[in-house]
Copies of this chain bind each other. A is one copy, B any other.
Amino acid sequence: MTRVHIDSTFDQDLEQIRELMLAMGGRVEEAITLSAKALEERDEDLAQNVVEGDHAVDRLEEEIDQNVVRLLALRQPQAGDLRAVIAVMKMAADLERLGDYAKNMAKRVAVLSAGPQIEGAGSSIRRQARQVGQMLKDMLDAFARLDVDLAQDVIHRDVEVDHMTNALFREFITHMMEDPRNISACLHYTFIAKNVERMGDLVTGGAEQVIFLATGERVGDRPKGDSTATIDMKPE
């Protein structure tokens, strides 16, 4: 009987942590959507909201960490349970970084809104961010119901993000070459595109954790998506 009692309490505690994770993920997803919207629409107030909202994301990570520590101390889970708890903690750390990248995008809105219009830049970034936001949403759904197929699908879609990023780089370089006055703004856009690409990598990492949680198996070494390090960036 004691054993049953311990198990179900453990499951309840873990469920609580999972719910915090999903709440955190929902907030991060919203931050990605809104920062990209603020960027395209040059909406500095909205950008400021995203920057300020990141505190709530950070606090959720702290809350998850505290719950994890408490759960480890009180329930002393073994083997698979222990690995599940640690996987969730790592996913929360990745979500926190995703939130930081969204915040970073929002922080760039003010200086970009004051600078020259770079044709198509805002809408292209928003399309790239939408792709990553959808991947994050699906990754969280996959996490909620331990859906391996959906997690695999998320992983495959990251390649599209990498292609979009490379196309964006070429686009921004073209604008820089056309007019040196575009250089400062295009540098900011390039950093943003790179950060959105990194968000895709983090979401992919989360999807791999979901597969690990569901199957106990590690997904093999995937290409890290930093192909932009090796390409000779050329204009369109």
Contact = CB atoms under 8 A, between A and B. Distances in A.
Interface of A: 65, 68-69, 72-73, 76-79, 82-83, 86, 89-90, 93, 100, 104, 107-108, 110-111, 114-115, 169, 173, 176-177, 180, 183-184, 187-188, 190-191, 194, 224, 226, 228-234
Contacts of A76: 73, 76
B191 A183 contact: no
A63 to B, nearest CB: 14
Contact of A83 (B69, B110, B115, B180): B69
Given A114-B232, A226-B104, A173 B187 contact: yes
A115 B232 contact: yes
Contacts of A231: 111
Contact of A93 (B93, B100, B176): B93
A77 B79 CA distance: 16
The 5 closest A-B pairs by CB, nearest first: A107-B229, A177-B180, A184-B233, A76-B76, A111-B232
